[in-house]
Amino acid sequence: MNPQFWNEKYQQDDYHYGLKPNRFLELMLESRPPGRLLFVAEGEGRNAVYAAKLGWEVYALDQSERAREKALALAEQEGVEIDYQIADASSFSSNQKFDAIALIYAHFPPAIRAAIHQNMAQMLKPVGELWLEAFAPGQLEFQSGGPKSLEMLYTPELLQEDFKDLQIRQAEVKRYELDEGPGHQGIGEVIRFRAVKM
């Protein structure tokens, strides 16, 4: 959890993960009426701004001040508002309850991961959904982005344990052609995970 690392990664004027939303997030948003949505480790704002354009009430958090700066600039350019806080996911709390929480490539070290995930599950409204896309262990074969440490990568079993208080609707690992800015380019092994608070 190193804000300086991310500030440096996001320093350039271009957007490291591009301006297009994540495809899994697009699929999740397509079939749902807008509500209150939280993005965790949101980075430069491509996903938050996309959701706001669809009418969602968008909240976001990240450690990187540079990421927030770029996200707010993108939101202004697109004519939408997002509530974006500088916060560490491991200590974040909110009085709000959310219709959905999105973790898009939000990889956390094992020492804090389960607690963060459980905290996020508690912030969902009843029938609220958690959406997660992240790299799976097979990603170590590829150069398309993500952590280079096995312990930072996610399996269905690991996420099923972390989110055991939710009803799991999807937990699948597949290989996709990634095209998300310079940061995610080429074939990658990805887990897509969806769970509902009952």
171 in helix, strand or coil?
strand
Structure tokens at 160: 């099923």
pLDDT value at position 1? 58
In order along its 198 residues, the chain shows pLDDT tens digits of 577 888 898 999 899 999 999 999 999 999 899 999 999 999 999 999 999 999 999 999 999 999 999 999 999 999 999 999 999 999 999 999 999 999 999 999 999 999 999 999 999 999 999 999 999 999 999 999 999 999 999 999 999 999 999 999 999 999 999 999 999 999 999 999 999 999
Alpha-carbon Rg of the chain, whole angstroms?
15
Instruction: Tell me the CATH number of domain 3-196, given options 3.40.50.150, 2.60.40.60, 3.30.2310.20, 3.30.1300.10.
Output: 3.40.50.150
Pairing of strands 184-196, 167-180: antiparallel
User: What are the sequence ranges of the domains in the chain?
Assistant: 3-196
d(CA 101, CA 40): 8
Task: Give CA–CA dist 25/133, Å, rounded.
Answer: 8
Q: What's the CA gap between 187 and 185, in Å, rounded?
A: 7
Q: Which pLDDT value is given to residue 137? A: 98
